[in-house]
Amino acid sequence: MSRAIAAPSTSEGPLAVLARFLRSDGFARLASYLFLVVLWQLVSLYEDRFPGPAETFGFLWIEVTGGAHGGVVRGQFLEPFAATLPRFALGIAISMALGVVTGVVIGGSRLAEALLKDTLLVLVALPAIIWAFLTQMWLGLGDDAVVITTFLSAFPFVAVNVVQGIQAIPRDLRRMSGAFHVPLYRRLRHMQIPAVTGYLFAGFRFAVIIGWNAVLLAEWFSASEGVGWRSRYWYDANRYKGFVGWVILFIAFIVLLDRLVLVRLQRRAFRWRDAQLSATERQAEEIDVGITGA
Amino acid sequence: MSSTTVERGPRGSAHLSIAGRRRVRGVAGLLIGVGGLLLVWTLLSEFVFGEFLLPPPLEIGQIMWEIVRSGAFIEHFVPTILRLGYGFALALLIGFPVGYLMGTSRWWRAFFHDMVMVAGSIPGITYAVMALVILGISIFGPVISVGLVAMPYVAINVAEGLDSVDRRLVQMSDAFRRQRSSVVRHVLIPSVAPFAFAGVRLSFALAWKVEQLTEVFGGSSGVGFQIRREFEDFSIPGMLAWVLLFIVFMILLERFVLARLERYLFRWRLEDKA
């Protein structure tokens, strides 16, 4: 289809080319971004505390280039990310490790499932803000509270996905490998690992998205540096353009990470399963962040 | 209950039917599960954290009972649930047309594609604080947040529902020269409505978390506001009591009301498969 646009036939007039451009997918996307910017501008006109796009991007430029914000305060861009990313990575790493262990235990044993499944569901249902509040009361301000909030919010989602993966192995396959005395190593290699990998990637993706929200919340309440702290800093200073600017930065960060890395990984890991899905079904699958929580 | 699950066996003795046995097993599993949760919690409170940092379940239970008995439960749950309801109404109101456009036109599909994709990964704190900045402390914050969180799920499911509409029915309606409006009313809406509802159900867990967060930041009533107050009083038991009440309520709502509604709406599909 893109080839059809790239090589218009010579007999067409400029109007026809324009019409085709207006009808193309590329223009539709462009139009959607224009629509959002106009909407943003309108909201800022309605509520003058809320900065418009021009103001916000002007501020972001100062912040990113490290210029002066009209005083002694200088722009910071890399420092907050440098403070946040190690906490985030550590939190996600712990939640992956603990989530896999919990998931294997619950998925593998009937008794463990009966005992722990409801605990897991309650953990999935707990909003990250509760962990942010609790860790602040337990541990005070600092790195520990942030890392622990991240991992406590994210790990139940990993565990739920691993459980689903293990339970998705067809019972016939399990029974057959038992009947034919397939050795444990080959059972792991050819049955369990391929079945769980896709779910593990899905769990990883949820952990990253949910963990990012948690790390921001925890930093908002109990940190003195980092992305969440920086946005709160501007919020407390009543400089809402600073706050909105940082919101744009942290949304851009997670969206780029999700779209460019995680969704591709997930699609690859599930390609054995989803080959026949239509485009819409696939899209529905990819926005389902809440589904495992339900 | 016994009259529905106990059936006469071949020799006249009472046997539990398969469905009955399954139900008994389900209840037993639930009891063991809740027992397990309380056990884990008590052990943690006793040996790991201490009673001050993690109060034992009994203490939380008493506070929960106190909240229910004093009427504070009703006073703060009603606004929260109402806002959740308004938010989902808003999501359906916007999600239906958006999903319709996405499902029927290629151009509009490309137009909304990025917005729908991005919406799921926006951190909840964004909605909460943005609502506070733009709207101040008001009831619209939670409603609009819930609407924005749930809308993409509704839209994408409506689009998926349109994909699944029986083409032969539409063709037949065309052949018999039915009006466009009656095709929409009798063919499209009945087959799409359950999908829209599935979108509500999928986004439910996400939406109420964002609503809580919005209430924590900019509410003047509701469960989130109560949680914030307990936090400011530095009261761990009070906070946990409110949270647990809310979670229990939400899980019950999810399991019993939404799941049943969904089964009801999808009943034509189940018959189709049988």
CATH code of residue B129: 1.10.3720.10
Interatomic CA distance for residues A292 and A205, integer angstroms? 12
* The pLDDT value given to residue A274: 66
Q: Do the Cβ atoms of A214 and A154 come closer than 8 Å? A: yes
Does B232 contact chain A (CB < 8 Å)? no
Does B25 contact chain A (CB < 8 Å)? no
Indicate the range of A182-186, A246-250, B134-138 predicted with least confidence: B134-138
Interatomic CA distance for residues A186 and A227, integer angstroms? 46
- B227–A129 C-beta distance less than 8 A: yes
Q: Kindly tell me if the per-residue pLDDT of A195 is higher than 50.
A: yes
Rounded to 5 degrees, what are φ and ψ at B137?
A: -80, 105
Coil, strand, or helix at residue A141?
coil
- Which residue has better confidence, A94 or B215? A94
State which residue of chain B sits closest to A43, comparing Cα positions: B134
Nearest chain A Cα distance for residue B208, angstroms? 9
Average confidence (pLDDT) over B120-126: 82
- pLDDT band per the 50, 70, 90 thresholds, residue A90: very high
Measured between beta carbons, which residues in chain B are less than 8 angstroms from residue A114?
29, 32-33, 36
* The pLDDT value given to residue B176: 84
Measured between beta carbons, which residues in chain B are less than 8 angstroms from residue A258?
121
Does B159 contact chain A (CB < 8 Å)? yes
Interatomic CA distance for residues A283 and B136, integer angstroms? 35
Superfamily of domain A78-293: MetI-like (1.10.3720.10)
Nearest chain B Cα distance for residue A280, angstroms? 6
Number of domains observed in the structure of chain B: 2
Domain shared by B45 and B61, yes or no: no
Range of the domain at B33: 2-49
Residues 6+ apart with CB under 8 A from A283: B113, B116, B117, B156
Interatomic CA distance for residues A19 and A242, integer angstroms? 40
> Mutation test of the interface with chain B: which of A122, A216, A241, A251, choosing the one with the most B Cβ atoms within 10 A?
A122
Measured between beta carbons, which residues in chain A are less than 8 angstroms from residue B117?
259, 283, 286-287
Task: Report which DSSP code applies to B105.
Answer: -
Q: Kindly tell me if the per-residue pLDDT of B58 is higher than 50.
A: yes
Q: Mind listing the pLDDT tens digit for each residue in A106-152? A: 887 777 887 788 788 888 888 888 888 888 888 888 788 899 999 99
Interatomic CA distance for residues A88 and A151, integer angstroms? 9
Domain shared by B69 and B153, yes or no: yes
Rounded to 5 degrees, what are φ and ψ at B14?
A: -80, 125
Does B145 contact chain A (CB < 8 Å)? no
* The pLDDT value given to residue A279: 64
* The pLDDT value given to residue A71: 67
Q: Do the Cβ atoms of B243 and B227 come closer than 8 Å? A: yes
Average confidence (pLDDT) over B127-155: 84
Domain shared by B160 and B195, yes or no: yes
DSSP helix, strand, coil percent of chain B (3-state; round to 5): 85, 0, 15
- A280–B122 C-beta distance less than 8 A: no
State which residue of chain A sits closest to B247, comparing Cα positions: A125
Between A and B, how many CB-CB pairs are < 8 A? Answer: 173
Provide the mean pLDDT of chain A: 81
Q: Kindly tell me if the per-residue pLDDT of B76 is higher than 80.
A: yes
Q: Mind listing the pLDDT tens digit for each residue in B131-140? A: 888 887 777 8
Domain shared by B36 and B78, yes or no: no
Domain boundaries, chain A: 2-50, 78-293
Measured between beta carbons, which residues in chain A are less than 8 angstroms from residue B120?
209, 287-290
Does B125 contact chain A (CB < 8 Å)? yes
* The pLDDT value given to residue A280: 65
Domain shared by B92 and B133, yes or no: yes
State which residue of chain B sits closest to A279, comparing Cα positions: B160
Q: How many alpha carbons lie under 13 Å from residue A93 in its C-beta half-sphere?
A: 7
- pLDDT band per the 50, 70, 90 thresholds, residue A38: very high
- Residue B39's CB: how many other CB atoms inside 10 A? 14
Q: Which of B57, B38, B56, B60 is nearest to B46 (CA)?
A: B56
Domain shared by B39 and B110, yes or no: no
* The pLDDT value given to residue A72: 67
Does B252 contact chain A (CB < 8 Å)? no
- A291–B236 C-beta distance less than 8 A: no
Q: Mind listing the pLDDT tens digit for each residue in B19-52? A: 777 777 777 777 887 888 888 888 888 887 777 7
Cα–Cα distances (Å) from B123 to A135, A211, B126, B154, B211, in that order, read: 19, 9, 6, 19, 13
- A217–B33 C-beta distance less than 8 A: no
- Which residue has better confidence, B129 or A108? B129
Domain shared by B38 and B68, yes or no: no
- Amino acid (1-letter code) at residue A182: V
* The pLDDT value given to residue A277: 66
Rounded to 5 degrees, what are φ and ψ at B179?
A: -75, 155
Interatomic CA distance for residues A202 and B248, integer angstroms? 27
* The pLDDT value given to residue A97: 92
State which residue of chain A sits closest to B208, comparing Cα positions: A127
Q: Kindly tell me if the per-residue pLDDT of B106 is higher than 80.
A: yes
Domain shared by B6 and B110, yes or no: no
* The pLDDT value given to residue B268: 62
Does B239 contact chain A (CB < 8 Å)? yes
Average confidence (pLDDT) over A219-234: 86
Domain shared by B86 and B207, yes or no: yes
Domain shared by B9 and B69, yes or no: no
Q: Do the Cβ atoms of B96 and B154 come closer than 8 Å? A: yes
Interatomic CA distance for residues A99 and A204, integer angstroms? 10
Domain shared by B203 and B76, yes or no: yes
Interatomic CA distance for residues A153 and A215, integer angstroms? 9
Indicate the range of A190-194, A245-249, B202-206, B270-274 predicted with least confidence: B270-274
Q: Kindly tell me if the per-residue pLDDT of B274 is higher than 50.
A: no
- Amino acid (1-letter code) at residue B32: I
Closest Cβ opposite residue B116 in set A25, A116, A287: A287
Measured between beta carbons, which residues in chain A are less than 8 angstroms from residue B148?
none
* The pLDDT value given to residue B86: 92
- A133–B239 C-beta distance less than 8 A: yes
Contact residues, B window 65-84, toward A, CB-based 8 Å cutoff: none
Average confidence (pLDDT) over B109-126: 83
Domain shared by B205 and B247, yes or no: yes
The per-residue b/e assignment along B134-173, b for 16 or more CB within 10 angstroms, e otherwise, is bbeeebbbbbbbbbbbbbbbbbbbbbbbbebbeeeeeeeb
Q: Mind listing the pLDDT tens digit for each residue in A257-281? A: 888 888 787 777 777 666 666 666 6
Coil, strand, or helix at residue A196?
helix
Q: Mind listing the pLDDT tens digit for each residue in A18-32? A: 888 888 888 888 898
- The ipTM of this complex is 0.76
- pLDDT band per the 50, 70, 90 thresholds, residue B90: very high
Measured between beta carbons, which residues in chain B are less than 8 angstroms from residue A250?
123, 126
Q: Kindly tell me if the per-residue pLDDT of B2 is higher than 50.
A: no
Element (H, E) at A203: helix A193-222
- A23–B107 C-beta distance less than 8 A: yes
* The pLDDT value given to residue A287: 58
